[in-house]
Structure 1
Amino acid sequence: MKAITPEMEYLSTRQSAKVLQVSLGTVQKMVELGELIAWKTRGGHRRILASSLEQQLQRRKRAMRQKSTQHCVAMGIFRRTENSVALLEAIQDWQLKVEMEVAVDSLEGLMKAVSIAPDLIFLDALIPPVEQVHLIHYLSKNKDTQRIPILVDEGFIKLHPGVVTLADENAGTRSSVPEELKEELENGLIELNPLIIGYPATDPEMDAALNPDNRHELLEPLFLEALSRKCF
């Protein structure tokens, strides 16, 4: 993690992403949600106040200390069994105690999520994009799951509008995405939803710097962030 030095009053979006160990998209979303203080230069470049980054880091540390003994129930919906096994093994080393229910099928995952009402829901990056759109739609609409944070691949968050368009083109005259859902997407179902939290999985900006073990390590603070956003 890159340190913030006393002479640094503000940082670029890219520098801020390195400090927080998140993607550029996550930093931009944090600015939009008011979690980071930023402004734009005359040239249109975003600058983020260093003190607000420091506050964010301190909040993370406090959350880690406060919730290190907390029992968290998570629901993981995966495409492949081996992906669920890898994450289940990784969370054994976390300070946060996580009990994860697993489904390797979207319908099973939806039914389990409604049944157990977990603290957070994790969507595997290998779930087909259109299927992820439908999952988020149903989870956000169901009264038993609509207040539960959902961890979603950063790459999917960036690409989902194009994914929907491509799905329509491939389907021909019969659209695979209902008009109601398209309207919800246009109104910010995913990118403006504070309960949608991105995690690095297929983000090319971070691919070169991260191996699978690093990715799993980065998930723990994101799980904590999800818990802090959960609406009771």
Structure 2
Amino acid sequence: MSDLHALPSKPEREYCSTSEAAQMLGVSLGTVQQMVENGLLEAWKTAGGHRRIRIGSVEDYLRRRSSGVAAPHPVGVLRILVAEDDRILQRLYAHTFETWNLPIEVRLVESGFDGLLEIGRQQPDLLISDLVMPGLDGFAMISKLRSDPKLEDMDIIVVTGLSQEDIAERGGLPDDVTIYGKPVPFKELKGYIQARLAQFQRRGRAAS
């Protein structure tokens, strides 16, 4: 008779590294550090100064986010939603944002409809959107968003392959929407995001 089932099971890990938590949450290392400092994730430091984050607290945060219960907005963290149906560009956005190591939280969706659902669950500070997408396109999504006064503080950037003439022929976009052409101008996006983060910091100092 085999006694294999008598062997003790391998204990599950209780803690993970900062980079592992960032991968689980789909955010940057800087965002994870901000979340720890703001008490949204439980963590401790090793004798060597490395952060170890309790996996249970990461899973709790993910459950709140997926259940539609709005998670608290981490102080000093910019929430970004990217609406882009091209999988290669999605990966490029995610990889590039990660290399900046800024306090940002990034989510990705593939259509205007998914964008509206995600914004309904958790409003971002900044929406970066393509215009030509399957189903509900960027024009319809942005029109819907700008008709809602509760979302008037949300910045919108469009990154598109359409020309100004093409956009005008399709009805145009609201005046407060910033428009960039493709390929994705990451240098300009980084400057825009850094400026928004600086505004967050000034507001935080003024409130303290």
TM-score by structure 1 length?
A: 0.45
Q: Larger C-alpha radius of gyration, 1 or 2?
A: 2
TM-score by structure 2 length?
A: 0.50
